[in-house]
């Protein structure tokens, strides 16, 4: 139980309980990441403690935005190796989570994680963010959209805000230097129906890592012409 206290302390910081079952799930998850990372490129972070801190604890710190605890239906855009979606689900079994990614082999890994950890109410979706938010069953249907280190805020908002229902939240997990990115993304955020609600500083236990949660509330419907076709937002961000 080498990392139990570390993870337990992180959960205490976000006002959540932590138990042995959660711990065992995190350890299984870590071991699967290391095993699969030899076959496909999941992460450059391969040391056990670094995975715990930089991936798992970083992911669950999204709960520093406490209204997320009340959100039931969540989609994780560009989930990669499952961050933050799987850690969110490990510490709170009452969520319904979709993990969306464009790379099928990563989703095969995630499907194995879901199976091995016996997680329910969580599924994977293969495709591009711009395509699924045009479909009625996904558009403006989620209480929260989360995304970690995928693109700059102007681009990311076009990927994510179309999924958020009015009154819901888009939470972007960002690095320490965020002011300029928020300034550059303000027009896109407003145009897409969002409003920056708060920026929450996040610290990781037993490290000097500092990150930010950019919390954007959905206040208006996203105009029907957004998102633009796949690839357009990255090449020509809304400015």
In percent, the amount of the chain with pLDDT more than 90 equals 91
Question: Which range marks the domain in which residue 54 is found?
Answer: 4-235
Q: How many domains does the chain have?
A: 1
Q: Name the residue with higher pLDDT: 213 or 230.
A: 213
Q: Cis peptide before 231, with omega less than 30 degrees from 0?
A: no
Choose among 223, 233, 83, 102: nearest CA to 159.
233
- Structure token pair of residue 214: 């950019």
CB 181 within 8 A of CB 174: yes
- Going by the DSSP 8-state scheme, the letter that residue 54 receives in this structure is I
Choose among 114, 121, 129, 120: nearest CA to 164.
129
Q: What is the CATH number of the domain that holds 42?
A: 3.40.50.150
Phi-psi domain of 7 (left: phi exceeds 0; alpha: psi -120 through 50; beta: other): alpha
CA distances from 19 to 5, 9, 27, 60, 178 (A): 10, 11, 13, 14, 34
What's the pLDDT at 39? 92
47 three-class SS: coil
What's the pLDDT at 201? 95
What's the pLDDT at 81? 97
What's the pLDDT at 206? 86
Helix axes 104-116, 20-37, angle to 10 degrees: 150
User: Average pLDDT for residues 28-36, to the nearest whole number?
Assistant: 97
Choose among 173, 176, 172, 171: nearest CA to 209.
176
Q: Report the DSSP beta bridge partners of residue 122.
A: 97
């Amino acid at each position: 139980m080498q990392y139990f206290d570390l993870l337990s302390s992180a959960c205490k910081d976000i006002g959540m309980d932590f138990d042995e079952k959660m711990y065992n799930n995190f350890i299984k998850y870590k071991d699967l990441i290391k095993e699969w990372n030899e076959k496909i490129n999941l992460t450059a972070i391969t040391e056990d403690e670094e995975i715990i801190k930089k991936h798992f604890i970083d992911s669950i710190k999204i709960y520093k935005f406490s209204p997320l605890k009340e959100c039931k239906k969540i989609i994780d855009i560009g989930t990669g190796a499952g961050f933050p979606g799987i850690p969110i689900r490990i510490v709170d079994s009452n969520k319904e989570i979709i993990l969306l990614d464009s790379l099928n082999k990563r989703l095969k890994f995630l499907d194995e994680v879901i199976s091995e950890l016996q997680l329910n109410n969580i599924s994977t979706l293969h495709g591009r963010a711009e395509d699924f938010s045009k479909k009625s069953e996904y558009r403006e249907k989620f209480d929260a959209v989360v995304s970690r280190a995928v693109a700059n805020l102007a681009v990311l908002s076009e990927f994510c805000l179309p999924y958020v229902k009015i009154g819901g939240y888009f939470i972007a997990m960002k690095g320490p230097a965020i002011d300029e990115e928020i300034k550059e993304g303000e027009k896109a955020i407003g145009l897409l129906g969002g409003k920056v609600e708060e920026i929450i500083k996040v610290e990781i236990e037993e490290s000097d890592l500092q990150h930010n949660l950019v919390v954007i509330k959905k206040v208006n419907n996203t105009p029907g012409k957004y998102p633009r076709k796949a690839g357009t937002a990255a090449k020509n961000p809304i400015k």
